[in-house]
Amino acid sequence: MEFVIRNATLPDGRTGIDIAVQDGRIAAVAPRLALAAAREIDAEGDLVAPPFVDAHFHMDATLSYGLPRVNASGTLLEGISLWGELKPQLTQEALVERAMRYCDWAVARGLLAIRTHVDVCDDRLLAVEALLEVKRRVAPYLDMQLVAFPQDGLLRSPTALANLKRAIAMGVDVVGGIPHFERTMADGAESVRVLCEFAAAQGLMVDMHCDESDDPLSRHIETLAFETHRLGLHGRVAGSHLTSMHSMDNYYVSKLLPLIAESGVAAIANPLINITLQGRHDTYPKRRGMTRVPELMAAGVTVAFGHDCVMDPWYGMGSGDMLEVAHMGLHVAQMTSQQAMRACFAAVTENPAKILGLEGYGLEPGCHADLVLLDAADPVEAIRLRAARRLVMRRGRIVAESPRAVARLDLPGRPGSVAFRQRDRGQ
């Protein structure tokens, strides 16, 4: 056997578990495996989880903060305007360099699968070409899905539909859209119909920026659920953001949630960005902006959290840490029961893996040996501490390691040096 990880805790609560790895796959998962291995790793009771998955990101814009200038207002619309200014200045080399740098950040944090939207409204399709190259380069250590995203509106931008089809022909994986950015609600609904019909004909998945607005009358998620059901796309469609649902009246939502669940449409919330960009027209009380995550989960909808942006025209913060995303989602959605906090961990691991359709994801025998050893006792503690990644494994190969987070204290009035770990309760 190549590796055996001893004495691990798993996200489902099992403790004292050994995980054997051979030929890039998980060979066995059980207590006290009687196996010899070329290398044994003592988890010391720490949490071993499948890798983090980001279901919603913009890799073509990442690490471009300050180009061509800083977003002075910090608003969504200024960010869109800035991106329009930046696009003519983009070069393929710069796009690839920034994306590769971000992928290094991601892998070090145990983030081994990313679905990234790529703008197709630039007739050069420069970003598409760049991210297809990045996808090829990172394939040995990171799964990347590309979404053809008509940032300026499918019908609003004259060449968007043709460019989207070109991008798909070049190898982009998923059909994207942004119906709430069309000129009218009717055009938004029409864009959903056109895109879903194209995806159905091509056998593709769909992931639309949908109702990223505080307007409770932005109801394109209803149309997306309808078209998904009509075309038999169940399980292949996701609605991202869905922030208008935060402002909708409860009676309408009581109708909407069963429609989303019936259609099998997944929901992707982006806590860091949703609460930053939404509610900008409010004084007080000020809306949180994030969609109704607990209610969607209770209705049986698969819900994931995405990072969305890292240091780009829309958001000057971020580090590629999906535990930071889960931490913010937990607080904004007031998901503080034990079950709800664990659901937030699932929203950055198994749920987005399901949305992306990742093959061989998990910690069962036969799954890919992709995993993260965290400096935490369980998923709740991992979120609380944004736990250090002691080890990141991809296809049975260790791709990142870091020590446990231990500080040495030498305080006045307390002689001697004391080892201190945040997770040691009572200290």
Confidence of residue 19 (pLDDT cuts 50, 70, 90): very high
Q: Give the tens place of pLDDT for each residue, 320-376.
A: 999 999 999 999 999 999 999 999 999 999 999 999 999 999 999 999 999 999 999
Q: Give the tens place of pLDDT for each residue, 94-143.
A: 999 999 999 999 999 999 999 999 999 999 999 999 999 999 999 999 99
Q: Give the tens place of pLDDT for each residue, 204-238.
A: 999 999 999 999 999 999 999 999 999 999 999 99
184 vs 191: CA distance, rounded Å:
11
Active site residue 212: yes
417 vs 313: CA distance, rounded Å:
45
268 vs 92: CA distance, rounded Å:
29
Domain residue spans of the chain: 3-50+362-419, 52-356
CATH of domain 3-50+362-419: 2.30.40.10
**The token pair that represents 216 in the structure block:** 């409770």
Percentage of the chain modeled with pLDDT above 90: 87
Which of 2, 78, 197, 212 is catalytic? The answer is 212
Domain 52-356: which CATH class? Answer: alpha beta
Residues 117 and 167: beta-carbon distance below 8 Å: no
Which pTM does this prediction carry? Answer: 0.95
In 94-236, DSSP assigns E strands to 111-119, 143-149, 174-177, 205-210
Query: What is the arithmetic mean of pLDDT over 38-47?
Result: 95
